[in-house]
Every structure is written in C-alpha cells, then in structure tokens.
C-alpha cells in the first residue's frame, strides 16, 4: 500500500488491485481517505479524482468531526479512569489525574473549544499511563505464547494507525488502543507481531494472522468502527 500526500487532507492511502475496474475514493469512519485503482492506472488519475472530490470531501470530513464522541461527566477514559468536572478556583482550564479519576477544572463560563482542548490533553495523558502499564505486558505475553520476537516498543498518539512494526523489529502502538475492547487490542498486537515475520500485507501475512486470529475478518471490520484519536 502506498500513500499520496495532500496538503489539505494529509496522507491518502492508495490501494492498487488486480480486481479493481474503476478508480474509487472512500472516506471511512476514522476519517481516513483512500483511493482504490486498477494496477496500471496512472497516478495522475487518482490525483484528479481527489481534486474533483475536494469540495465534497470537505463537507464529509466536517460532518464526521461533528459526530465524533464528546466526553461527559462520568464517562470512562480507557480502562481505568473516570472523567470528572469541577469548577476552577483560578478561572483557568486545568487537568489532573488522581488515582482512577481524570479531573478537568473549568471556569463557570466555558468556551467549548478550550474545554475540548483541555479534555483532549487530559485524556491523552490518562491513556498514555494506561498504555504503558498494560500494552508492554500483554504484547510480551502474546509474543511468548505464539513464538514471536521483537526488539522494543514505542508509544504514540498521532496519525491514523493503531500500530506499526519496523524492519528492525520495533513495534509502535497508539495509546488510543486503550479505548478499544480487549479482544480488538489483542488483534492489533497480534497483527503487529505477525509483521515481524511478514513485513507486508500479502496472502502469506493474512494466512499467518488467521493462524492466531481465526476470526480476523470480523475483527478487522469491528476495528473500523473506532478511530485512533479523539
């Protein structure tokens, strides 16, 4: 899979397929834009479709952002933190973590954009703490159970991917994995472990995935209902 860099929408996933008969553009539930095209179709055709669809894409992306989850009092953040609000004594926005609570301090008169920004910062901090506590241990368990080896693990929160694996055996994981059900977390971890043996998405790779995740097709479909960011 290749990527086309666009100054407005960022990385556009390109999928060439022997089965494709036309050039098609898609925006998924995570906000990822992809273009599928026949094997020998020139790249400029994909660029032309993107430019022709630009205005419509702007509206679709804006609608998607409006539908994204807004956190409220009492919501779970990941697996172990509960979101709480309190009135700020200083008149400013702040966040802090106390045991299993993510506490957001806000002024009596709040600006939605500022509130969402501090919520995002606090949630990212809570998820990073959870990710560092849980994911390395679970990744090691799965690696030992299924006979995989990797070099090290890194954490991030940017981009549109749940995880990746480098040719040097470094597995990078998105802290927003902690928002997923545990079975989907395991699927992502096994997916990246399989990349330590197959650095591609070939038929051999998917056969390897199926060895450890017989229902991987359902898990891939379920994963598309979530997004690796706020």
Each residue's pLDDT, cut to its tens digit, for the chain (230 residues) gives: 677 888 888 888 899 988 888 999 988 766 778 899 999 999 999 999 999 999 999 888 777 665 556 678 899 999 999 999 999 888 888 899 998 999 999 887 776 667 777 888 899 999 999 999 999 999 999 999 999 999 999 998 866 789 999 999 999 999 999 999 999 999 999 999 999 999 999 999 999 999 999 999 999 999 988 878 76
Cβ atoms within 10 Å, residue 204: 12
Residue 133 domain-assigned (yes or no): yes
- Same domain for 149 and 201, yes or no, is yes
Instruction: Select from 21, 45, 67 the last residue of a domain.
Output: 67
What Cα–Cα distance (Å) separates residue 75 from each residue in 71, 221, 228? 6, 25, 18
> What pLDDT score does 11 carry?
80
Going by C-alpha positions, the residue among 146, 227, 139, 132 that lies closest to residue 186 is: 139
> What pLDDT score does 29 carry?
64
Going by C-alpha positions, the residue among 31, 103, 38, 110 that lies closest to residue 63 is: 31
Distance CA 38, CA 216 (A): 26
Q: In what order do the strands lie in the sheet with 81-87?
A: 76-77, 81-87, 101-106, 94-98
> What pLDDT score does 42 carry?
93
Distance CA 102, CA 106 (A): 13
- Same domain for 200 and 159, yes or no, is yes
**How many structural domains does the chain have?**
3
Whether the full predicted model's pTM is greater than 0.75, yes or no, is no
Going by C-alpha positions, the residue among 159, 207, 215 that lies closest to residue 186 is: 215
Going by C-alpha positions, the residue among 116, 118, 29, 130 that lies closest to residue 77 is: 130
- Same domain for 28 and 63, yes or no, is yes
CATH code at position 158: 3.30.2010.10
- Same domain for 109 and 178, yes or no, is no
Contact 57, 9 (CB under 8 A): yes
Going by C-alpha positions, the residue among 94, 87, 88, 128 that lies closest to residue 114 is: 94
Contact 223, 209 (CB under 8 A): no
Going by C-alpha positions, the residue among 108, 113, 73 that lies closest to residue 88 is: 108
> What pLDDT score does 67 carry?
56
- Same domain for 219 and 158, yes or no, is yes
Instruction: Select from 41, 67, 93 the last residue of a domain.
Output: 67
Residue 228 domain-assigned (yes or no): no
Distance CA 50, CA 12 (A): 9
Give the distance, in angstroms, between the CA of residue 31 and the centroid of all CA atoms in the same chain: 10
Range of the domain at 13: 2-67
- Same domain for 123 and 140, yes or no, is no
> What pLDDT score does 113 carry?
63
> What pLDDT score does 41 carry?
93
């Amino acid at each position: 899979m290749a990527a086309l860099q666009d100054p407005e929408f960022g990385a556009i996933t390109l999928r060439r397929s022997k089965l494709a008969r036309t050039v098609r553009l898609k925006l998924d539930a995570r906000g990822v834009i992809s273009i599928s095209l026949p094997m020998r179709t020139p790249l400029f055709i994909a660029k032309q479709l993107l430019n022709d669809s630009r205005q419509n894409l702007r509206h679709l992306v804006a609608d998607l952002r409006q539908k994204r989850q807004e956190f409220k009092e009492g919501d779970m953040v990941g697996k172990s933190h509960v979101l709480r609000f309190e009135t700020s004594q200083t008149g400013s926005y702040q966040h802090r973590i106390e045991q299993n609570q993510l506490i957001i301090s806000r002024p009596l008169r709040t600006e939605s954009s500022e509130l969402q920004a501090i919520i995002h910062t606090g949630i990212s901090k809570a998820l990073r703490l959870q990710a560092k506590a849980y994911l390395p241990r679970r990744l090691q368990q799965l690696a030992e159970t299924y006979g995989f080896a990797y070099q090290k693990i890194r954490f991030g929160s940017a981009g549109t991917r749940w995880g990746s694996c480098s040719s040097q055996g470094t597995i990078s994981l998105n802290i927003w994995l902690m928002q997923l059900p545990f079975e989907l977390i395991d699927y992502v971890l096994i997916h990246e472990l399989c990349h330590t043996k197959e650095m591609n998405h070939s038929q051999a790779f998917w056969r390897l995935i199926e060895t450890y995740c017989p229902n991987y097709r359902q898990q891939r479909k379920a994963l598309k209902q979530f997004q690796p960011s706020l």
